[in-house]
């Protein structure tokens, strides 16, 4: 597997940095993966998924969000949200210049939340969303919900969600997805929490996610 450290700086726009996983049997498609609020692009989940997707033929960029570029530790300040979305937009544009077909955008928790907000702001920017442990609400609280924008979401989205996620139950997620006008799918990960990976599924979950992704977005995501 060929993994390349990646960094692209611009004097007026957010820096995009992380790692590109070059594919085996290239489909011409790309997937960008953003991390959760307390993590970075080297999280075990992102590494495992990037490895699995690149092995299946999809170029993957796992990237640090701008708030993480600015500070190596800590959670994202609310004031950074717009810049984080701008960083994801730059990542999409940079990957579009590298691949011949579609670019998909994914993220874990906070990263997925920002990805979905970006998709609402520009429905033609990406081909689809891969949302991992979407944070419907804060743990042990039913509000505030982070779903107001779902009514305006027109991008197909696949949600990978744990059965014991404190940020939202599977039933809460199913109810929230009724507002989305685009096609959606839920992949339920049993006996897991917000991190998704467990000692029992580390070897199998990445392959399941790739298979569900291909089935949802169709044969174009398969290598020739």
61-119 per-position pLDDT tens digit = 999 999 999 999 999 999 999 999 999 999 999 999 999 999 999 999 999 999 999 99
Model confidence at 140, pLDDT cuts 50, 70, 90, reads confident
Structure tokens, 73: 């530790």
Model confidence at 200, pLDDT cuts 50, 70, 90, reads very high
- 224 pLDDT higher than 50: no
Determine the Cα–Cα distance for residues 213 and 130; give it in Å rounded to an integer.
8
37-to-27, 64, 81, 113, 191 alpha-carbon distances in Å: 31, 11, 11, 10, 22
- Burial of 74 per CB tally in 10 Å (0-12, 13-18, 19+): exposed
Which residue in the block uniquely carries the two structure tokens 């597997």?
A: 1
- pLDDT recorded at residue 175: 97
Pairing verdict, β 128-132 and 157-162: parallel
- 219 pLDDT higher than 90: no
- pLDDT recorded at residue 218: 83
Mean pLDDT of the chain: 95
Q: Which residues are CB-contacts of 180 (< 8 A; sequence separation ≥ 6)?
A: 150, 151, 153, 157
- 165 pLDDT higher than 60: yes
For residues 222 and 78, the model is more confident at: 78
Question: Which neighbouring-strand residues pair with 184?
Answer: 157
- pLDDT recorded at residue 177: 98
| Of 126-130, 189-193, 219-223, minimum mean pLDDT range | 219-223
Determine the Cα–Cα distance for residues 219 and 224; give it in Å rounded to an integer.
10
Phi-psi label, residue 57: left if phi above 0, alpha if psi -120 to 50, beta otherwise: left
Determine the Cα–Cα distance for residues 167 and 129; give it in Å rounded to an integer.
19
CB atoms closer than 10 angstroms to residue 39: 20
* CA dihedral angle for residue 74, residue 157, residue 91, residue 166, rounded to 10 degrees: 10
- pLDDT recorded at residue 26: 83
151-to-28, 111, 120, 173, 178 alpha-carbon distances in Å: 31, 19, 9, 14, 9
For residues 142 and 189, the model is more confident at: 189
Q: How many helices (H) and strands (E) does the chain have?
A: 6, 8
- pLDDT recorded at residue 103: 98
H/E stretch holding 4: strand 2-8
Fold of 2-221: Rossmann fold (3.40.50)
143-153 per-position pLDDT tens digit = 999 999 999 99
Q: Where are the domains of the chain?
A: 2-221
């Amino acid at each position: 597997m060929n993994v390349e450290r990646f960094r692209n700086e611009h004097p007026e726009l957010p820096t995009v940095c992380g790692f590109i996983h070059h594919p085996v049997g290239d489909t011409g498609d790309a997937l960008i993966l953003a991390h959760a609020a307390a993590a970075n692009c080297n999280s075990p989940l992102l590494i495992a998924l990037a490895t699995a997707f690149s092995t299946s033929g999809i170029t993957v960029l796992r990237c640090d969000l701008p708030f993480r570029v600015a500070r190596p530790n800590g959670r994202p300040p609310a004031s950074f949200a717009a810049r984080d979305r701008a960083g994801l937009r730059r990542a999409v544009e940079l990957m579009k210049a590298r691949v011949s077909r579609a670019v998909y955008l994914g993220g874990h928790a906070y990263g997925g939340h920002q990805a979905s907000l970006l998709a609402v702001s520009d429905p033609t920017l990406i081909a689809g969303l891969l949302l991992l442990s979407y944070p419907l609400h804060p743990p042990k609280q039913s509000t505030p919900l982070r779903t107001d924008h779902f009514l305006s979401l027109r991008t197909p989205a696949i949600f990978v969600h744990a059965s014991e996620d404190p940020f939202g139950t599977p039933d809460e997620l199913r109810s929230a997805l009724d507002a989305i006008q685009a096609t959606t799918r839920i992949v339920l990960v049993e006996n897991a929490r917000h991190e998704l990976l467990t000692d029992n599924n580390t070897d199998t979950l990445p392959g399941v996610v790739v298979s569900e992704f291909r089935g949802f977005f169709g044969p174009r995501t398969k290598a020739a």
